[in-house]
Structure 1
Amino acid sequence: MKETYVKAPNSEQKKLLDLQQSDSGIDRLRHRERNLPEDHALTEANAERDAITRRLATEVGAVEDAQADLARLESDAATVAARMQRDEQRLQQTSSVKDVAALEAELDSLRKRTSALEEQQLEVMQAVEDATVVADSTRAESSAISDRISEITAQRQSSLDAIAAEMGTLNGARTALAQSLDTALLEIYEKQRAKTGIGAALFRAGTCGGCTMTLTGQDLADVRAAAIDDVVRCPECNCIVVRTEESGLW
């Protein structure tokens, strides 16, 4: 058994169990706060949103490229149509057999070019439509994941608010208990708790509730022999072992 330096009424020592309960509760809340399931869910959702955003950028680029191809084909078709209109006007105005033959040959070539351009336009229009459908689907995914992120964020805030409320209650109880304790006793408790997280624990059936070590031999005899107002320390973990009616010593 650790050497006793301080005495305190047993009723005061029992308060340490309530203080430890508050402190352990606060520790658990802080752990919950640092390990919210919503944080993990947000990390995954944000990563998914980033992937969707990158994919959407590629798909929008494909739509824009197809639209640019279509615009080029439409411009080429307009140029060919203007050339055909000009040649047809010239054909009507000329009486030269040579010119007529040349113009008809060019018009025939332009008609073939127009037909080819129309086929290409249909293909590219389909490509624009297909690419737009893909991009629109990804936009829907983006909207859905954004909604999911908003939902998780709200859930996270709700969890934080609940933790803060519990923390406030426990901190209030802890402050009141600490203020009611003997200064020297509280100092021993605080120093020990700073080291291991456990400042005081119930001694029950020969066992320290802080480290679960079962005392035997001289260590147990020392606890049994200690005066009721002695502040007894565990020989293993050094926390204050609080003796109550549950300890089986009296």
Structure 2
Amino acid sequence: MKAPALEQRKLLDLQAADNRIAQLQHTLRTLPQEVRLAELQRDSVAARQEFGGVNGELEDARAEIARVEADIDTVAAREKRDRERLQASSSSKDIQGLEHELASLKVRRSNLEDIELAVMERVEEIEQRLAAITARRDDIATEERLLAAQRDEQRDRVAAQLEVAKSERSAIAGGIGAELLALYERQRERYGVGAALLQGGVSLGTNVALTESDLAQIRAAAPDEVVLDPDGACILVRTEESGL
């Protein structure tokens, strides 16, 4: 294949543009905030699950307090009733029975009040744990929002740079003949590099020094002859730096 030497040199600009595009695309795929956001998402899920479990403990403890308070109210009502009956009774047998029941109710009420106090202390401890979980969950959400905003800002900035790079690439490709461009695209698709400079006898496509035999063949080629790296990896572009 033949192509003007100046057109072949444009392949280096095209390769540089493709390298820039690949770099920007890689940046978009590996934004640094994404790793931390994934960690925060896992932390957020764990915090929500922990919140749900502790909140369930709190609801159970508050329900237990309500039951104990209802029992205390029941005992207090029976005490009130028995006192009223005691005041109105003239039967020593009834008085003895009422006094015995009142003593039992007093013990029962004291036990219930102890239980209530213990459960109230447990509620306080659970509320403290729940407050700590809530604070941690809020901190996670705040960091997520900040990081997401930073990520979106960087993504938009890189995406804009990518669009510019693609536009510049199109302009460069427009100045290269269809046949040469097709060869470049084919080599780049196969090997990742479409064209590279031959510099000081070294192919910058493979970073391998060419043999004297290979260099002799390249020297013998006309300036408009398109030559490939001896390994076939890419188009070799010859300039005054080639050492020929």
Match of 2:188 in 1: 193
Amino acid corresponding to residue 216 of structure 2 in structure 1: A
Unaligned runs of 5+ in 1: 1-5
Q: Give the equivalent residue in structure 1 for 2:218.
A: 223
CA deviations 1:103-125 (Å, max 9, x no partner) are 11101111111111111111111
List structure 1 runs of 4+ shifted beyond 3 angstroms: none
For 2:233 and 2:137, locate their aligned partners in 1 and report how far apart those are by CA, in whole Å. 56
- The one of 235, 241, 245 equivalent to 2:236 is 241
Q: 2:175 is aligned with what amino acid?
A: S
Tell me if structure 2 keeps the 8 A contact 1:202–1:243. Answer: yes
Q: Which amino acid in 2 is paired with 1:154?
A: A
Query: 1:238 Cα deviation (Å)?
Result: 3.0
Specify the alignment match of 1:48 in structure 2. 43
Q: Which residue of 1 aligns with 2:91?
A: 96
Distance 2:92 2:109 in 1: 25
Asked if 1:147 corresponds to 2:142, the answer is yes
CA distance in 2, matches of 1:195, 1:27: 15
Greater RCO (CA < 8 Å, at least 6 residues apart):
1
Match of 2:100, SS?
helix
Could you tell me which amino acid in structure 2 is paired with residue 26 of structure 1?
I
Map 1:117-196 onto structure 2 (within 5 A): 117-196=112-191
Kindly report the root-mean-square deviation, in angstroms, between the aligned alpha carbons of the 2 structures: 1.0
Q: Unpaired runs of 5+ in structure 2? A: none
Q: Counterpart of 1:246 in 2: which secondary structure?
A: coil
Equivalence map 1:10-49=2 (5 Å): 10-49=5-44
The DSSP-based 3-state class of the residue aligned with 2:190 is helix
Q: Deviations over 1:138-157 (max 9, x none)?
A: 00000000111111211211
Distance 2:18 2:224 in 1: 23
Conserved? CA contact 2:17–2:165, under 8 Å:
yes
Cα distance in 2, alignment partners of residues 135 and 87 from structure 1: 43
Candidates 68, 86, 96, aligned match of 2:63 = 68
Amino acid at match of 1:75: A
Kindly provide the amino acid, as one letter, of the partner of residue 97 in structure 2.
A
14-23 vs 47-56, greater mean Cα deviation = 47-56
In the TM superposition, what is the alpha-carbon distance from 1:47 to its structure 2 partner?
A: 0.8
Q: Would you say the 8 A contact 1:60–1:135 is kept in 2?
A: yes
2: distance between equivalents of 1:186 and 1:226? 20
**Residue deviations 1:79-126, cap 9 Å, x none?**
000111111111111111111111111011111111111111111111
Distance 1:27 1:171 in 2: 10
CA distance in 2, matches of 1:180, 1:172: 13
> Is the contact made by 1:211 and 1:237 (CA closer than 8 Å) also made in structure 2?
no
Per the alignment, in what secondary structure is the counterpart of residue 245 of structure 1? coil
Q: Which amino acid aligns with 1:42?
A: L
Q: Structure 2: which amino acid aligns with 1:127?
A: R
Task: Give the TM-score, by structure 2 length.
Answer: 0.97
Work out the CA distance in 1 between the residues paired with 2:55 and 2:233.
66
Percent of pairs identical after alignment? 43
